[in-house]
Structure 1
């Protein structure tokens, strides 16, 4: 169980570890509201990213949540919500 905060920097790091980055995509820029597909991340890359988040943060993210979180902002919010629920249950 972890109560760590999940930030955009955490997401950038995990995306790079899970699937790398397309040429021409600047993950260091303002990407919060850019759809994942525009950043070069398809569903398989996001499933791998979700798996890495689960292992590192000790939470479970369902596939529907990953499919619905179509931007970094949405995914960060979903992970933060799960982390808060875990912290409250402790």
Structure 2
């Protein structure tokens, strides 16, 4: 079975659905290495994002996956690690 991939587009959609977007933030730009804080997402928004990812993709993210992922790139990598483990 091929592992499902979580992409930056998936993350942008879930962030927007769960917490919206700050007026001055362009989620359509290159956000991979921009901190969530600079994008206007605080810890509560990231917890909501994590919950949505878990429900939608059927995985469990440990607390460190969210607290240690300071950028979209780091969170995407953490989710994809979980997804590849879930496919085994």
Please indicate, yes or no, whether the TM-score normalized by the shorter chain is above 0.5.
Answer: yes
Gaps of 5+ in 1: none
Partners in 2 of 1:64 and 1:84 — Cα distance?
Answer: 18
Partner of 2:55: 55
With normalisation by structure 2, the TM-score equals 0.95
Gaps of 5+ in 2: none
Partner of 1:39: 39
What do residues 26-62 of structure 1 show as CA deviations (whole Å, max 9, x unaligned)? 0000000000000000000000000000000000012
Q: Is the 8 A contact 1:47 1:63 kept in 2?
A: no
Point out 4+ residue stretches in structure 1 off by more than 2 angstroms.
none
Partner of 1:77: 77
Partners in 2 of 1:70 and 1:32 — Cα distance?
Answer: 10
Number of equivalences: 87
- Bigger proportion of residues as helix: 1
Query: What is the RMSD computed on CA atoms of the aligned residues?
Result: 1.2
